[in-house]
Each structure stands twice: as structure tokens, then as C-alpha cells.
Amino acid sequence: MSSSPDSDRGASSRVRTFVEGFDNALGGGVPKGNVVLISGLPGTMKSSLAYNILFQNSAHSNSRGLYVTLEQRRDSIVSQMYSMGFAREEPLKNIEIFDIARIKKEVGERTEAKFWIEYLKRVINLKRKVSDFNTFVLDSLDAMEFLERAEGKRSQLFRLFEWLREWGVTTFLITEAPSEPTIQGLMGGEKRSEADYLADGIIHLKMHQVNDVDVQRRIRCVKMRGTRHETSYFALVFENGVFSITRPMSM
Ligand SMILES: Nc1ncnc2c1ncn2[C@@H]1O[C@H](COP(=O)(O)OP(=O)(O)OP(=O)(O)O)[C@@H](O)[C@H]1O
Ligand SMILES: [Mg+2]
């Protein structure tokens, strides 16, 4: 790992993850305006990492973040984030958490795909009128099940990604899709998800069984367009409200 501080490189053109050490592995952070997937199975800290990015950027640079959740109620997210130590008031003022989980529950099953894309865009456009956002999180892409059901899924997803790029914010889309091709999967003809191809970057989180009893968190940059990034897995640690990486001690 380089010894230079993460803030040294590419500060103006990149959004830092504020995972100590990982920003160096990303060449300074995520290129501004990129659409990036944060992928991983349940409990791998996808939401926490996304919120960390919004929170720390607000705390360090007055950037404004929008967090749209279809998964968890707003108060559940807020209390989870407070319990992680993200409780200082100033940066929180610059983060808007918008919960559409309830509306989804009420009308979701019977509603057409187009409604959801249009609804999401309308919500974002309304928020944009009030505030100029720099970072956007959608938690999660998978919760928009219509994308699975819809005819022409690829073009729907493609249009959503294009719309996000035109908006110009740096976007983090949370997804449960593993995004890590396994040898067995590839031999069995497993297809990568459409979102994997469309995204500018993929940050993958996983739990790794070290031995019979120990499991460690891991993080890896699978891809990041326009960036010479490291490709290896790092151990991901969260302590005293700060994420950091170390080289894994054992594989
Ligand atoms: N204060 C804390 N310190 C360290 N780890 C924590 C703390 N609070 C929660 N965690 C860990 O974070 C996990 C939940 O993280 P998070 O909700 O971000 O995961 P997720 O990948 O978004 O999960 P899901 O797929 O269920 O939404 C918990 O299972 C716990 O292991
Ligand atoms: Mg989550």
C-alpha cells in the first residue's frame, strides 16, 4: 500500500470513498459522474459503505448527498447510521434520505415497470429543485423487481443509467448480485448481470471464511472506468466510525 495520504491524488476529479487506504487503490477515488455498483450479499455492509461515502464527503467538502431507499424505512437507516457513529449534525444536514419503500409496498406488485422509472425520476427531479446534489445512492437496484420482470430489461436499465449520467452526479447503486464470476459459474454458462456491463465501476464486498471459525470482510474494485486501480481483495475493517483496509493476512 502506498504511504501517501488518500487525499493527495486526483482530489478535484474524484469522489473519495473515505475507506482509508482504498482511495489510493482507486487512484484517488471514484471518478466524478461515474455510475458505480456496490455489490455483495446481505450483511456485507453495502448500505453502510454507501452512507459512509455520502456522510464523509459532506463532512469534508460540503458536498450534498441524496439517498433513496426502497429497502429500509428512513428511521431504520438513520438509527443504523447513528449507531455506527455517523451522528454529527452538520454533515447530516447535507444528506437527504428519501424512503420510497412504503409506497413501493402499497402499489409495487401491481404497477408497471415504466411507473417505477418515472416515479424515481420524478422524486429525484423534485429533490433537485430544492438542492444541488453531488452524490446519489439508490438502495437498491434489486428492489426494483420490475427490471427482472420487464420486457426489454436491458433497454430499461440502459435508459436509467444514461439518465443518471446526464444528471451528472456520482451515483452508487447497491445490488445484491454477486458480480464475481466463479470458475464453476462460468463453466456452467453463468451470465454476468446487465448492470455489471452498464456500470462504470463495481466495488464488491464479501465475507471470507479464513478458517473454521473466523470470517473477515473483504472489499475489491472489480472495475473502474478511466482508472488504473488495484484489483486485489483487501480486508475491510470498520472501527470507531471509520472504514479502512489492510492486506489480508491469510487467504
Ligand atoms: N457499529 C458497527 N460496527 C461494526 N459493524 C457493524 C456496526 N453496525 C452494524 N455492523 C455490521 O454491519 C452489518 C449490516 O450492514 P449493512 O446493513 O450496511 O449491510 P448490507 O450489505 O446493506 O445488508 P442488506 O443486504 O441486508 O441490506 C451488520 O450485519 C453488522 O455486521
Ligand atoms: Mg442494505
Give the tens place of pLDDT for each residue, 3-35.
455 544 545 799 999 999 999 999 999 999 999
E-only strand ranges, 32-156: 35-39, 65-69, 95-99, 135-139
Give CA–CA dist 219/52, Å, rounded. Answer: 14
State mean pLDDT over 108-132.
79
Question: What is the whole-number distance in angstroms between the Cα of residue 69 and the centre of ligand 1?
Answer: 15
More confident residue, 103 or 243: 243
Question: What is the whole-number distance in angstroms between the Cα of residue 241 and the centre of ligand 2?
Answer: 17
Q: Is the CB of 45 under 6 A from ligand 1?
A: yes
Give CA–CA dist 51/72, Å, rounded. Answer: 13
Give CA–CA dist 29/38, Å, rounded. Answer: 14
Closest residue to atom 13 of ligand 1, CA basis: 43
- Assess whether pLDDT exceeds 70 at residue 91: no
What pLDDT score does 8 carry? 44
DSSP β-ladder status, 135-139 and 170-175: parallel
Q: Is the CB of 48 under 6 A from ligand 1?
A: yes
What pLDDT score does 54 carry? 94
Write 225-233 long-range contacts (CB < 8 A, 24+).
Answer: 225/31, 225/34, 225/200, 225/201, 226/31, 226/34, 226/200, 227/26, 227/27, 227/31, 227/201, 228/27, 229/25, 229/26, 229/27, 230/25, 230/26, 233/208
Give CA–CA dist 231/119, Å, rounded. Answer: 37
Percent of the chain at pLDDT exceeding 70: 78
Question: What is the whole-number distance in angstroms between the Cα of residue 42 and the centre of ligand 2?
Answer: 7
Which numbered atom of ligand 1 lies nearest the CA of 51?
18
Give CA–CA dist 185/177, Å, rounded. Answer: 13
Closest residue to atom 16 of ligand 1, CA basis: 45
Domain boundaries, the chain: 32-201
State mean pLDDT over 128-151.
81
How is domain 32-201 classified at the CATH fold level?
Rossmann fold (3.40.50)
More confident residue, 12 or 120: 120
Q: The whole model's pTM is what?
A: 0.91
What pLDDT score does 198 carry? 93
Mutate to test the pocket of ligand 1, among 19, 39, 48, 76 (most ligand atoms within 8 A of CB): 48
List Cβ neighbours of 190 (8 Å cut-off, separation of 6 or more).
181, 182
DSSP conformation class of 13: T
- Per-residue pLDDT of 173-191, as tens digits, reads 999 876 566 666 656 666 6
State mean pLDDT over 227-247.
95
State mean pLDDT over 117-142.
90
Q: Is the CB of 46 under 6 A from ligand 1?
A: yes
Query: Nearest Cα to 141, choosing from 84, 182, 94, 179?
Result: 179
- For residue 213, the one-letter residue type is V
- Per-residue pLDDT of 37-73, as tens digits, reads 999 999 999 999 999 999 999 989 889 999 999 888 8
Q: Is the CB of 204 under 6 A from ligand 1?
A: no
What pLDDT score does 2 carry? 45
Q: Is the CB of 44 under 6 A from ligand 1?
A: yes
Closest residue to atom 27 of ligand 1, CA basis: 42
CB atoms closer than 10 angstroms to residue 38: 28
Distance, CA of 83 to chain centre: 20
State mean pLDDT over 91-103.
81
Which numbered atom of ligand 1 lies nearest the CA of 44?
21
What pLDDT score does 62 carry? 83
Which numbered atom of ligand 1 lies nearest the CA of 140?
27
